[in-house]
Chain A
Amino acid sequence: MSINVKDVSKSFGDFHALRDVTVDIDPGQLTAVLGPSGGGKSTLLRIIAGLETADEGTVFIDDADVTKVAARDRGIGFVFQHYAAFTHMTVWNNVAFGLKIAKVDKKRTRERVSELLNLVHLDGLADRYPSELSGGQRQRMALARALAVEPSLLLLDEPFGALDVKVRQELREWLRRLHDEVHTTTIFVTHDQSEAMEIADQIIVINNGIVEQAGAPNELYDHPANDFVMGFLGPVTTLGSALVRPHDILVSCAPGSGAYQATIERIVSLGFETRLVAAPTSGGPPVTVQLTRREIGDLDLEIGDTVYLTAHSGRKPSARQSNPIDVSRPATAQTG
């Protein structure tokens, strides 16, 4: 199923959730809609689903205009962040719900539900109630339930946000494998860039109601369209007037052309990598450099040493600074 969203805008009172958003999704892909909380990603997803209606703009599914079509008629599967399990039905009845509504015959329903419970590894738990399941099990049930009616599009709204880190990791890989098996066009919303980077074929970055960039993960990481995308997808530090990735900085003990002189303030050894924090002689915020064990071994540095830093592949400051955020922190701290 191909999805085309054209010039969609949506406001809630004074708050503009989406502004002229245009997005194109190819069939069969696993797409991540990535961005900070409150940026508009869930709103976009819900507009595609039909759970919200856009103030302006159109939504096309498979080249058909569905902007005015009711959610229940769009043939879309939806998985909610907090599972939305039918608490008064067993796991079996939860998964069978959509089939019963569609009046599928009993035999076929039984086959399909068994097949799906098998797929999500909840076989033995068919007679349990959602309250008796763990978070991860509930979410797998929610997925089985959404897939039961063979939707042509699967939407997931921060599906692993309510789960423990370890479960999140497991389910994220599991979702990718599921997608590889089933090939349903899938869109999931997340604020966790590592999640998006790890499993998505395509990432759409949304911030403050507008699309910052869309493309393959590596594309966005290596060639970010602006500072916001760069900062959101990975660690950044400032060298001179450019934003650079800490692991793209070359450290030398001898001056060179275009090199910035700096004094080492801190050396943090993290086993596989070492982080240097250096204060530029010309002033400005401290520069963070990420080096491998081998690289640091070759250099033999101490606090107070003078070094010369060049960017391996830097970025010139863009004309439009979309989001001046504190950039000298590594990316992992941004996925909270």
Chain B
Amino acid sequence: MGKYLLRYGVLTYLALLLVVPIGLVAYRTFENGIGPVWDALTSPQAISAIKLSLLITAIAVPVNVVFGVATAWFLSRRKMPVPWLVNAMINLPFAMSPVVIGLAVYQLYSRDGWIGQHLFAENIPFLFTWRAMAVATMFVSLPFVVREVLPVLDELGTEQEQAAEMLGASALQSFFRVTLPAIRWAVIYGTILTVARALGEYGAVNLVSSNVVGQTLTLPLYVQNRVSNFDPTAAYSAGLLLAVISLLILSGMTMLGRSGRKEDTV
């Protein structure tokens, strides 16, 4: 008896918090048919927002993946000078409010900021443009690949790499032929998480963006913009698009979460 109470209690909680709200949004979006939704998503402002989101993601994700794998490798295989500091820096984006992250980037790249002043002297616009938004996104989505790859590298151990070395492989050959294939699922999973975070970031990007619709709005910013401008259809449409992308990402995470990653260790 208690079992059923627990089960249905829990499911109701999930329903009221998760499922029903999302379902409602889906319903409301298509309340007036597909036409308005399509129009809303293909409007120049929406397209500009989609393009900007894709651009920023395309910049932030590869950088974080490459440097993430490299950082994890150095942490695992070499003695780092101040490992606790490196660890703290990796986890800092998790501990920081997105707004604070945005503020930090803002401060660094503003007209009299440490880097900003040089950029201003060279006449390179940074703050409030997509460039600052990309940097903020990079900061925010930094930890995922490192955190996924590091434990796998640790568990893998160095024996295979030693065997490769004895067989004549250079460090680079050993990394690409032996280490990377062994950690590939962790890298992929970390990449998926990074993409999710980069695409969905709001607070940090909001702070460093000039928030001009049609120019410096990513898709999440666009959603908020449409709500403030009393354009619920556009808001819901964009929101639903993001939700659908998240569900795709979620299924990728789920599929890789269990079976895929077990292969990393024999």
Contact = CB atoms under 8 A, between A and B. Distances in A.
Interface in B145-167: 159-160, 162-167
Given A85-B266, A88-B182, A131-B266, A101 B159 contact: no
B163 A101 contact: no
Interface string B166-184: 1111100100011001100
Given A101-B173, A130-B266, A84 B167 contact: no
A82 B173 CA distance: 22
Given A87-B266, A88-B181, A88-B182, A78 B168 contact: no
Interface stretch (A69-77, A216-224, A242-250): A69-77
B170 to A, nearest CB: 7
A102 interface: yes
Contacts of A76: 166
B165 A97 contact: no
Given A87-B266, A130-B266, A80 B169 contact: no
A73 B166 CA distance: 8
A86 interface: yes
Given A80-B159, A84-B159, A85-B266, A71 B166 contact: yes
B169 A72 contact: yes
A11 to B, nearest CB: 17
Contacts, number: 63
B188 to A, nearest CB: 14
Interface in A71-112: 71-73, 76-78, 80, 82, 84-89, 97-98, 101-102
A311 interface: no
Interface string A139-167: 00010011011000000000000000000
B168 A102 contact: yes
Contacts of A82: 159
Contacts of B265: 87
A119 interface: no
Contact of A84 (B162, B168, B177, B181): B162
Contacts of A131: 266
A148 B160 CA distance: 17
B266 A77 contact: no
The 8 closest A-B pairs by CB, nearest first: A98-B167, A84-B159, A84-B163, A78-B166, A88-B181, A87-B266, A101-B168, A131-B266
Interface of A: 49, 51, 71-73, 76-78, 80, 82, 84-89, 97-98, 101-102, 130-131, 142, 145-146, 148-149
5 contacts: A82-B159, A86-B163, A97-B164, A98-B168, A145-B167
